[in-house]
Amino acid sequence: MFYKKHRKKILPLMVIPIFILIWELYILMFNVEAYLLPRPWDLAQATFGFFVNGDMMTHILVTLQEILLGTAIGLVIGLVLGYVLAKVKFLERIVMPFVIIVQTAPKISLAPLFILWMGLGIASKVVLVVLVVSFPIMINEVLAIRSIDKDVYNLMKILKSNKLQIFMKIELPYSLEMLLSGIKLAVTQAMIGAVIGEMIGSKAGLGYLVVLGGETYDINLILASVFILSLMGYLLYLMFDIIEKKTLSWKAIEVDVIG
Amino acid sequence: MNDFCLQTKGLNKVYHSVLKGDTVALKDINLDINKREFISIIGPSGCGKSTLLRILGCLDKPTSGEIIYQDGKEQEMGFVFQDSVLLPWKNVRENAGFPLVIKKDKTKESWDKLDDLLELSGLSDFKNSLPKELSGGMKQRVSIVRALSYDAPMLLMDEPFGALDAITRDHLNLELLKIWEMTKKTIIFVTHSIEEAVFLSDRVIVMSARPGQIKEIVEIDLERVRKESVRDTDKFQEYTKYLRGIIG
Ligand SMILES: Nc1ncnc2c1ncn2[C@@H]1O[C@H](COP(=O)(O)OP(=O)(O)O)[C@@H](O)[C@H]1O
Ligand SMILES: [Mg+2]
């Protein structure tokens, strides 16, 4: 009974011990040197050490801050710009081609530019994240407003509603719907932006630790940072997934990657 | 003695398009519609029925011609669209009462009347259901209650039952007549079903396509209150046959 009820959660969890076992066996069988690949237990101990003796927590918070701040600002900018573009037709016709061009260019490649302009601190990464997040949100917002049925506007017209009511009762809810389902993807993109920014030039953060580990031949530091990053990404995704499911319960069911 | 509800004089509507050239959607539409009348508009698809209805509802402007409303252009009107266009995040009662919210009508009287309408339409048990949980017929019921909620004297309906199966459709036709008899609204009803038009209407306006013109207006002289059994009478059959002949 217990197994049946929680099968969806138990099965993925079973993969972890199997993975660790294979890892352990691989090292034993092929005599892999510890500086190339540490044994799982050693890595766990080293990771613990980074928290207790080092300042791993500070680095995690730096990266988290860049992600959350950048995502929040990026969402607002993307929403506002998208809404304006969707409502002002001629502006859209002028601006949209450029938006598409910039959108297809890898924005991450602008990282060195921002670091040059804004230094090694947190600001340059936040700006990079803002850039990465705001573009897809903006485009989705244009589409979200555009996809509102013409008859919904006709309904508002027949009810003699004013502009503010159309915004508050129709456009805002439809935007939030888009936002809540887009935020999961946005936050994943944001993490990539922040980490790559850190790797190119910074003094703190998990991306910085990965580079530091590479330069000092500290395989434990690299693996610990990557592991924490993956966990962070997963938890962020999960968090927004739960928020989305709670707030968008009125939506028709759709297939999801996780969960 | 018949109060007129609205009158159109020489309505024309041309859609301009660079690619396809101009489309004459309506040509010289002259109509007199009386208060408390049930009017159907019927015709092949693309003949301008929706265009005409939108213009009557002031959702669109005619290219030329004018409409005179007995109670002024600003009078309240209800509109039922072909798709129910419910707001997916609102439940049945919130959707049906949406016009009251927009019109900032918080009176107990209006909301009590809304509950009566929901009861009458068999929606009482679904007040808290979301649109995604409803069948097509139920959604359209909600959208009709929504259009009735603010007691507009005029109700415009654009093929409201077009997407429904025949049984649901007959059922909703009866319900609509019940509501119309109770509230005595003027109803202008677009359909492409001849049976539906005959069953519901006092008069049927037959339109022809390209350009959209009024071909004939047929008075339906069947007993009121109409029951389901009306459909089996010879007179009903004659009307449908006659209309089929004109539209042909
Ligand atoms: N917004 C529009 N722009 C251009 N042409 C339109 C528009 N709406 C309708 N038409 C054209 O006008 C004609 C009448 O359309 P419509 O009123 O929707 O017909 P019906 O409702 O009878 O099917 C059609 O030929 C249609 O292509
Ligand atoms: Mg139509």
* Interchain CB distance below 8 Å, A250 and B101: no
| Domain extents in chain B | 4-75+153-247, 88-151
Residue A259 pLDDT > 70, yes or no? no
- Rg for chain A, CA atoms, rounded: 23
pLDDT at B2: 63
The answer, yes or no, to whether any atom of ligand 1 lies below 6 A from the CB of B122, is no
Q: Whose CA is nearest to atom 21 of ligand 1?
A: B50
pLDDT at A211: 95
In a domain, A171, yes or no: yes
Using a CB-CB cut-off of 8 Å, the residues of chain B touching A250 are 88-89, 130-132
What is the domain range of residue A113? 50-258
CB atoms within 10 A of CB B201: 25
Residue A258 pLDDT > 90, yes or no? no
pLDDT at A83: 94
The answer, yes or no, to whether any atom of ligand 1 lies below 6 A from the CB of B25, is yes
Tell me which CATH code domain B4-75+153-247 carries.
3.40.50.300
Domain count across chain A: 1
Output the domain CATH number for residue A157. Answer: 1.10.3720.10
In a domain, A87, yes or no: yes
* Residues A216-232: tens digit of each pLDDT: 999 999 999 999 999 99
Task: Measure B226 CA to ligand 1 centroid, in angstroms.
Answer: 33
* Interchain CB distance below 8 Å, B77 and A149: no
Tell me the mean pLDDT in the region B227-235.
Answer: 90
In this complex, how many residue pairs, one in chain A and one in chain B, have their CB atoms less than 8 Å apart? 50
Q: State which ligand 1 atom lies nearest to the alpha carbon of B49.
A: 22
Phi/psi at B80 (5° precision): -110, 125
Residues B99 and B150 sit within 8 Å (Cβ to Cβ): yes
In a domain, A44, yes or no: no
In a domain, A4, yes or no: no
The answer, yes or no, to whether any atom of ligand 1 lies below 6 A from the CB of B137, is no
Q: Whose CA is nearest to atom 7 of ligand 1?
A: B15
Residues B63 and B14 sit within 8 Å (Cβ to Cβ): yes
Tell me the mean pLDDT in the region B165-177.
Answer: 89
ipTM of the complex: 0.91
Residues B137 and B121 sit within 8 Å (Cβ to Cβ): no
